[in-house]
């Protein structure tokens, strides 16, 4: 039998979700729901263990291992569909249908079901059947081109923007929106969440800036892509970095004051022709001190400047510690695949009356198979 499941808390207590195992954005959407109290049962594939990359991402839900191509696999999915509010799957278009639990079959069993489909390209269109990853979706939406590295080479912002921003977060929003509508109509529906659509939605402000002429310089020469001297990172004397985001005039003047530069430079803040000279001035100034020394100066200056921390350093930042932004995750140490202590992001967003909670980290796949199958009345 599986491990005892801790009591859940959060505004989604009572919601039931079946997550057909995938990677990246689908699991992130399921994590967001589980963090807020939803009872998520994940169906993992036999002989697949994702804990090296997904141990935190798979937190807070029970894991069942069945072969989706077998009779017991389909029976398990459909039995979970019968009692669930949401189904999440991340296959290429048509795969769930071939396995027997596509939207038509699932909604016929449970008309109130919200059926979430997480893909990169969407369910239709010339690229729908193509393989892809975060970097290729960003490339086609125009987002990747704006992230400039050495020699003008586009550099992906990890896989945060596509997988987790335009992908999993948008899917979770779509699922909750469909559930809200189903409260009135009594009827579920399919949520087609494509990373390309989500990322395109996130470009709304930049599309406005392009249309108004505020964004049009070559890559690396615009307001938010590192072109502006007051919105970029600068190397310090100890080979670390400080991030500057002094966009508003009041913060820009404070930046100049702390750096000891003449306040007359404030008049040329938005003059792109002056930016190369300003960048050089700021670069020279930041190179005079260590990151810690600059942070000591800027911490109380309210100038929109902060140290660039590593992921490990961030877990110890006093502000993030005070808020519990990162937290330890309870887990059976014998099941952990992490060579260092497991750090987990806290629950976001936060609710005043019904707070969510960080779930247990993922253990071995299938640790709850017998327990869930017994609940469903399925023997094996």
Residues serving a catalytic function are 133, 163
> How far apart are the C-alpha atoms of 323 and 347, rounded to whole Å?
11
SS3 194: strand
Give the distance from CA 227 to its chain's centroid.
Answer: 26
Q: Which of 292, 293, 289 is nearest to 237 (CA)?
A: 289
Task: Tell me the two tokens of residue 272.
Answer: 């792109």
- Structure tokens that stand for 273 in this block: 């022709």
- Tell me the C-alpha distance between 367 and 352, whole Å: 33
Assign 68 to helix, strand or coil.
coil
Rounded CA gap, 110 and 96, in Å?
A: 16
Write the CB contacts of 16 (distance below 8 Å, at least 6 apart in sequence). Answer: 38, 39, 41, 83, 84, 85, 86
**One-character DSSP codes across 254-302:** HHHHHHT--GGGGGGTT-GGGHHHHHHHHHHHHTTS-HHHHHHHHTTT-
User: Are the CB atoms for 98 and 153 separated by under 8 Å?
Assistant: no
What do you get for the CA distance between the two ends of the chain, in Å? 13
Facing residues of 235 across strands? 241
Q: Cα torsion at 174, 156, 284, 245 (round to 10°)?
A: -10
């Amino acid at each position: 039998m599986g491990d005892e499941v801790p009591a859940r808390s959060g505004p989604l207590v009572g919601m039931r979700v079946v997550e057909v195992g995938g990677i990246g954005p689908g699991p992130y959407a399921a994590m967001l729901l589980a963090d807020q109290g939803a009872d998520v049962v994940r169906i993992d594939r036999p002989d697949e263990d994702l804990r090296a990359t997904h141990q935190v991402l798979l937190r807070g839900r029970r894991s069942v291992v069945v072969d989706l191509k077998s009779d017991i696999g389909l029976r398990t999915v459909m039995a979970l569909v019968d009692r669930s509010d949401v189904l999440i799957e991340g296959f290429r278009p048509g795969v769930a249908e071939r396995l027997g639990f596509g939207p038509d079959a699932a909604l016929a069993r449970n008309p109130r079901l919200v059926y979430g489909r997480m893909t990169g390209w969407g369910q239709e269109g010339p690229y729908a059947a193509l393989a892809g990853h975060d970097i290729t979706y960003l490339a086609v939406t125009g987002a990747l081109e704006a992230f400039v590295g050495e020699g003008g080479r586009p550099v992906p912002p990890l896989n945060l923007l596509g997988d987790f921003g335009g992908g999993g977060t948008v899917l979770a929003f779509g699922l909750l929106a469909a559930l809200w509508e189903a409260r009135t109509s009594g009827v579920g529906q399919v949520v087609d969440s494509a990373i390309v659509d989500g990322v395109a939605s996130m470009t709304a402000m930049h599309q406005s800036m392009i249309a108004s002429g505020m964004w049009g310089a070559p890559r690396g020469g615009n307001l938010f892509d590192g072109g502006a001297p007051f919105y970029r990172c600068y190397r310090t004397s100890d080979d670390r970095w400080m991030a500057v985001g002094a966009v508003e005039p009041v913060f820009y003047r404070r930046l100049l004051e702390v750096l000891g530069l003449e306040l007359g430079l404030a008049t040329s803040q938005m003059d792109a022709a002056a930016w190369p000279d300003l960048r050089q001035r700021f670069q020279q100034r930041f190179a005079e001190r260590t990151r810690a020394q600059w942070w000591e100066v800027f911490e109380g200056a309210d100038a929109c400047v902060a140290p660039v921390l590593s992921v490990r350093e961030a877990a110890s930042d006093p502000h993030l510690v005070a808020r519990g932004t990162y937290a330890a995750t309870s887990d059976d140490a014998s099941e952990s695949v992490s060579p260092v202590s497991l750090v987990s992001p806290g629950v976001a967003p936060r609710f005043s009356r019904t707070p969510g909670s960080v779930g247990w980290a993922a253990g071995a796949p299938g640790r709850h198979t017998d327990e869930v199958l017994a609940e469903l009345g399925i023997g094996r």
